[in-house]
């Protein structure tokens, strides 16, 4: 059954937080947005999916108006802008000189990983030394890139370029190293289990893209919550804590500081961060802010 195992929670998380998945769509777009205001501050929140195929129409008049009115553009972290940072981090924290990947996931599963790597033209020389979290990330990214998805067409990157062209400051909530650290800090046992299931369910996992895309383009918050953070919390609680709960808490502190100041900020972060319990809007509400759909 689709979305029934922890690896699907992992794919959901990666798709809407770390910029790995999204498909093309033709329906009228209305991605979910929220707004928080006080006497002298306005914060717009846009939930995004970071990688798109050519031809996806995701713009809306209200989104464009909010971006135009903003003083600053905020995003998670811009890993794509400086790939060297991610490469350095992967070498330092994604490789293991003491234990092979085959020892972590088993020889048969490692053989599956190597076969898939060859299919997607991933260099195989260093695969045996990868930690499970990096292997899972590399494999998932190669799959979607191999089917025509492009990070340069993603929502965050597109809006970042527009904000830069308009002279708006670009503000990241976290550094690229901090963002990757949330994955690297996961216990290898947890990451190995997710990698094994991703190897077993490659085709089924890729079908998840359609459900995510449809819900995101329609602004269907209930569906995004159901197939995103709700299932992740239940099926992969360590992953939920690592890449949603802890990061949301950190971002809300920064948004609280924005609202204590003045001006208008536009925030674009993965949609999983903005729906459900412990989401950014939920946490802002608990601080006493009125968060409304925009």
Dihedral in degrees, nearest 10, Cα atoms 170, 171, 173, 179: 50
The pLDDT of residue 201: 74
3-state secondary structure of 41: strand
pLDDT averaged per 10 residues in sequence order, the chain, 294 residues = 33 42 54 96 94 87 96 86 77 94 97 93 92 91 76 88 96 90 89 87 67 87 90 85 93 97 97 95 97 96
pLDDT of residue 19: 42
pLDDT of residue 20: 41
For helices 6-17 and 188-200, the axis angle rounded to 10 degrees is 100
Residue with tokens 């031809």: 55
What residue segments make up the domains of the chain, in order of their start?
6-293
- Strand-pairing partners, residue 72, are 265
Torsion angle of the four alpha carbons 250, 255, 258, 263, in this order, in degrees rounded to the nearest 10:
150
- Edge-first strand order for the sheet with 41-48 is 170-172, 72-75, 263-270, 41-48, 33-37, 291-293
Rounded to whole angstroms, the maximal C-alpha distance in the chain is 61
């Amino acid at each position: 059954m689709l979305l029934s195992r922890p690896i699907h929670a992992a794919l959901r998380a990666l798709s809407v937080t770390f910029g790995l998945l999204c498909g093309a769509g033709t329906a009228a777009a209305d991605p979910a947005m929220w707004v928080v205001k006080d006497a002298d501050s306005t914060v717009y929140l846009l939930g995004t999916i970071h990688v798109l195929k050519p031809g996806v129409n995701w713009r809306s008049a209200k989104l464009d108006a909010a971006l135009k009115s903003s003083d600053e553009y905020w995003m998670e972290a811009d890993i794509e802008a400086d790939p060297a940072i991610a490469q350095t981090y992967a070498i330092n924290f994604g490789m293991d000189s003491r234990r092979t990947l085959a020892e972590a996931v088993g020889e048969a599963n490692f053989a599956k990983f190597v076969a898939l790597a060859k299919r997607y033209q991933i260099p195989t020389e260093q695969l045996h030394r990868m930690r499970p979290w990096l292997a899972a990330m590399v494999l998932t990214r190669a799959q979607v890139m191999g089917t025509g998805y492009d990070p340069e067409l993603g929502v965050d990157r597109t809006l970042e370029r527009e904000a830069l062209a308009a002279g708006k400051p670009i503000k990241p909530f976290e550094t690229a190293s901090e963002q990757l650290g949330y994955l690297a800090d996961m216990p290898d046992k947890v990451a190995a289990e997710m990698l094994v299931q991703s190897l077993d369910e490659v085709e089924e996992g890729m079908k998840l893209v359609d459900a995510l895309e449809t819900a995101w383009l329609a602004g269907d918050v209930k569906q995004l919550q159901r197939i995103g953070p709700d299932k992740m919390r239940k099926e992969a609680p360590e992953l939920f804590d690592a890449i949603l709960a802890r990061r949301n808490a950190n971002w809300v502190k920064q948004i609280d500081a924005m609202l204590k100041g003045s001006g208008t900020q536009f925030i674009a972060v993965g949609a999983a961060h903005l729906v459900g319990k412990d989401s950014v809007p939920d946490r802002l509400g608990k601080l006493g802010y009125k968060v409304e759909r925009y």
